[in-house]
Amino acid sequence: MSVIILLLIASITVASLFLGFYIWSVKSGQYDDEQSPPFRILFEDSPPVKPNHTSAEINKKINAS
């Protein structure tokens, strides 16, 4: 059963990596805005370039579909 040491080391190494990623993500502001990402992915980035959307336009687009 001593193999559990290896599994613990491997798992905790990866967990530490994830912890590092988590700390980085919080500190670099990944979660500062939780409102726009779900909407952002719904827009295509094909040209021509669209003007900046107002929230009214965003709402209209969502409600129309």
Partner 1 sequence: MQIEKFHYDNKIVKYFAFATAAWGIVGMLAGLWVAIQFYYPAISLNYPGTTFGRLRPIHTNAVIFAFVGNSMFMGIYYSLQRLCKSRMFNDKLSWVHFWGWQSIIVLAALTLFFGYTTGKEYSELEWPIDILITLIWVVFGINMFGTIFKRRESHLYVAIWFYIATWITVAMLHIVNSFELPFSFLKSYSWYAGVQDALVQWWYGHNAVAFFLTTPILGLMYYFLPKAANRPVYSYRLSIIHFWALIFIYIWAGPHHLLYTALPDWAQSLGVVFSIMLIAPSWGGMLNGLFTLRGAWDKVREDPVLKFFVVAITCYGMATFEGPLLSLKSVNAIAHYTDWIVGHVHIGGMGWNGFMAFGILYWLFPRMWNTTLYSKKLATNHFWLGTIGIVIYAVPLYWAGFAQAGMWKQFTEEGQLKFQFLETVTSIIPLYITRSIGGTIYIIGALMMVYNLYKTAKQGTFIPNEAAEAAPLVKNTSHAGEYWHRWIERKPATLLVLSLIVVVIGGVLELVPTFLIKSNVPTIASVKPYTPLELQGRDIYVREGCYTCHSQMIRPFRDEVARYGEYSKAGEFVYDHPFQWGSKRTGPDLARIGGKYPDSWHYNHMMEPSLMSPGSIMPRYGWLLDDNIDTALTAAKIRAMQTLGVPYPAGYDKIANKELMSQANSIRINLKIDKIQTPANKEIIALIAYLQRLGKDIKAEKKTEPAVSQ
Residues engaged in binding partner 1 (CB under 8 A): 1-7, 9-25, 27-31, 33-35, 37-42, 45-47, 49, 62, 65
- Smallest Cα–Cα separation from 42: which of 8, 23, 22, 65? 65
Contact predicate 22/28, CB 8 Å: no
End-to-end CA distance of the chain: 57
- Least distance in angstroms from the C-beta of 33 to partner 1: 7
- Least distance in angstroms from the C-beta of 24 to partner 1: 7
- Least distance in angstroms from the C-beta of 50 to partner 1: 10
